[in-house]
Chain A
Amino acid sequence: MKTSYLPVGLPAPLADRQGPTAPFWKGLQDGALRIQFCRACNAVQWGPDYICNACHSLDLDWKPVEPEGRIYSWTRVWQAAQPVLEGSVPYVVVLVELVSAQGVRLVGNLLGEPLQPVEIGMPVVGVFESHEEAGTSYTLLQWRKMDGDWRC
């Protein structure tokens, strides 16, 4: 049974165990979407950094947000860039902007039929996709369309 949208064998996002993105990946493994904010000026910051890009405080922290967003952009990939994907095209990549944190965007895949209609602005909800591969584990955040006519 297929347990992930794309086949096993793509690089795992595990190389940043010490870096500024580490709490994000740890959060996904815990089933939570966490984003960075500045404890000094309270600004939400994305992508993660060592310093607040607004006030230069180094006192940054993480907070949970709802994994809900709208499709900010998308592409349907027809030519595989890695051998492991050759049997998996086409597939849909979406760029999702979070509803609760404007300007915070995440790349993911849109679950479902690869030829389904996709439009900028469509509301989507996050789906946590666990990977257990080659002795490592990590979680990706995927997206599915919300039910109903989104233009209403």
Chain B
Amino acid sequence: MTAERTLRHKVAIVGIGETAYFKRGQSPDPEYVLALKAILAACDDAGLDPRDIDGFSSYADDRNDAARLATSLGIKELRFSAMQWGGGGGGCAGSIANAAAAIATGQAECVIVFRALSQGQVRYGQGAAAIGYAAQAAPVIAGDMAFSVPYGAISPAQRFALKAMRFMHDHGVSQDALRAIALASYRHAQNNPRAIMYGKPLDSDGYDASRWIAEPFHLFDSCLENDGAAAVLLVDAARARDFQQPAAYLLAAAAGSGRRQAASSHSAPCYATGNFNEVARRLYAMARIEPREVDVVQAYENFTGGVAMALNEHGFFARGDANDFLTIDNLSAPNGRLPLNTSGGHLAECYMHGMNLVIEAVRQVRGQSCNQIKDANVALMISGPMVTPVSSLLLGSEATR
């Protein structure tokens, strides 16, 4: 009989680390130093000598090269280094899947998965270079962006607004549903001293009065832009209890996309989607759980509309039920039906391309969140709605073993 091919309960996150989070441009440290600090913090949390790290995994074309990190940290032997394809945060959970696969197959023992981002030094998704043309007197543009930039659909907010508007039309989603997602993040951030928006609450009137960026997105539907770094340490589940913190076990991880999702000119066959229909099916199958068994969700907010898509595609509400499900009460810790983004997420804690959401998912299954859910045994983390490829991750507490 062939052994089941799965990551379920094979690998655990035993260390989490992050820098202080800064508004864009306000980090006193270069991006590389931020990466080092987060990695050292994750090792310190676990009680591991950083020289015993033997692998690095990242995503979104992170600029902090694995071999350079291994040199700086005096690592004895680098065994694994991997970059998950795809820009933005779609690869966050996928980079954890890559690290976990390396550990489960004996390629490495102690792998750091990290993201470091100093938007003051290189601003993400903005400017001429980011959208693919050189700043010059008569700029030209190529490829997919040539289909939208000459028409003023330039920034991520402007391009994803088209997808969100169609999704809201197809599914009958109201602006109130998007607002509930934003309010939940801000509510949770008020209990999180690490959050950029700690001490800056947002209410319905504040959301409604905020300026439009690109309809249907108000200012508060958009992620922050930050400097910082975050890292997690993965080891073989058999060793998880040797470390000083409670382990968060991988129940499943999945990455990928639907058919022709990268078709240019906004012409993917299944357009108005977060792109999780296939990924979510494989995720739950590997974990052998149902959506109703998920206790808490950290869902990547580039924009609130993408969160609505992601939650729908991960099976939390049926088509047409978004407005009933997406309410501030349902999404709030500790007693809501599905507490969402309990650290404040990308809207109110920090935009660390999903890695701060992974850390919050770990905190929940450890019982260490600022907005702790009672008996949180299963935490879902969703990476990068509306891009391709995307990825998702399910973590379980000791009680799930």
Instruction: Give A contacts to B, CB under 8 Å.
Output: 6, 10-16, 19, 21, 25, 46-48, 53, 72-79, 81-82, 85, 88, 90-91, 93, 95, 103-109, 120, 133-136, 140
Distance of A135 from chain B, by nearest CB (Å): 7
0 or 1 for each of B169-182: is its CB under 8 Å from A? (1 = yes) = 10000000000000
B residues 245-296 near A (Cβ < 8 Å) are 260, 263-267, 269, 271-272
- CB-CB under 8 A from B106, the residues of chain A are none
**Which of A48, A88, A106, A135 is within 8 Å of B138, CB to CB?**
A135
How far is B128's CA from A15's CA once the two chains are assembled, in angstroms?
Answer: 14
Which residues from B are CB-within-8-Å of A120? 165-166, 169
Contact among A6, A16, A47 with B265 in the assembled complex (CB-CB below 8 Å): A47
Given contacts A19-B143, A21-B146, A74-B165, contact A79 B212 (CB under 8 A): yes
> Judging by beta carbons under 8 Å apart, are B149 and A77 in contact?
no
Contact partner, A109, options B128, B151, B211, B271, Cβ 8 Å: B151
Interface residues of B (CB under 8 A from A): 126, 128, 133, 137-144, 146-155, 157-158, 161-163, 165-166, 169, 211-216, 260, 263-267, 269, 271-272
Residues of A within 8 A of B162 (CB): 73-75, 93, 95, 107
Nearest CB of B to A130, in Å: 13
Contacting pair B214 A78 (CB below 8 A): yes
B170 to chain A, nearest CB (A): 9
| Chain A nearest Cβ from B259, distance in angstroms | 9
Question: Which of A73, A108, A134 has a CB less than 8 Å from the CB of B163?
Answer: A73
**Cα A125 to Cα B139 with chains together (Å):** 28
B24 → A minimal CB distance (Å): 16
Are A77's CB and B138's CB within 8 A?
Answer: no
> In whole Å, how far is A97's beta carbon from the nearest beta carbon of chain B?
9
Candidates A46, A78, A108; contact of B215 at CB < 8 Å:
A78
Complex Cα gap A143–B271 (Å): 21
| Sample (9) of A-B pairs whose CB atoms are under 8 Å apart | A13-B146, A19-B142, A75-B158, A75-B165, A79-B213, A81-B126, A93-B148, A93-B158, A140-B150
Q: How far apart sit A91 and B215, CA to CA, in the bound complex (Å)?
A: 11
B126, B150, B166, B267: the one contacting A11 at CB < 8 Å is B150
Contact in complex: A46, B263 (CB < 8 Å): yes
> Contact at B165–A11, with CB atoms within 8 Å?
no
